[in-house]
Amino acid sequence: MYMGDYIVIERQVGPYEYRGCSVSTGTPFLAEIDRDKRHLFADQSWIRKHPSACPFLRPSGNRIVCTIHETSPVQCKAYRCAIIRIRSHDGKELGYVTGTLSLHSDDPTLMEDWRCIEPLLSAFPGNAEERITSVLIKKGYSCT
Ligand code: SF4
């Protein structure tokens, strides 16, 4: 809600693409609005009323969401509390993965399954979020 001074949009470079900058480090980034959040981003009414908020933030129902989840700056990914929430097939929350790719869970089966995922992450860095989700879904978990 107060990242508007730190994450700025410099210019629009495509229909849903923006060149942005993480001001504190001077790091540029290219952001594409997530396909499923383009209608949220298009509505400017909320962000106009909240000029201190990150320009990519939008309300969605009773939540406030990042509309560039896939392409958000590396600092955001690193500090995001939870990038994947993991549930059993019947919806029970079993744990979550943080932006630093650490599992937080007390579920012994999930912890055991995670031990198979960790070596894959160090051997093949990149697209970690997608790959973790894919493996967990194949093992019968639900990921959001
Ligand atoms: S996570 Fe998304 S909404 Fe939050 S500061 Fe980063 S880019 Fe902005």
Q: Is the distance from the beta carbon of residue 68 to the nearest atom of ligand 1 less than 6 Å? A: yes
Ligand 1 atom closest to residue 31's alpha carbon, by position in its atom list: 7
Q: Mean pLDDT across the stretch 23-48? A: 94
pLDDT digits (tens, 9 = 90+) for 50-109: 999 999 999 998 888 899 988 998 878 766 667 888 999 899 999 988 877 889 899 999
pTM here?
0.63
Say how far apart CA 93 and CA 85 lie, in whole Å: 7
Q: Is the dihedral of CA 26, 30, 68, 127 positive or negative?
A: negative
Select from 6, 7, 18, 60 the residue to mutate for testing ligand 1; criterion: most ligand atoms less than 8 Å from CB: 7
Ligand 1 atom closest to residue 6's alpha carbon, by position in its atom list: 5
Q: Is the distance from the beta carbon of residue 84 to the nearest atom of ligand 1 less than 6 Å? A: no
pLDDT digits (tens, 9 = 90+) for 98-141: 877 889 899 999 999 999 898 887 776 677 888 899 999 999 99
Provide the 3-class DSSP secondary structure of residue 106.
coil
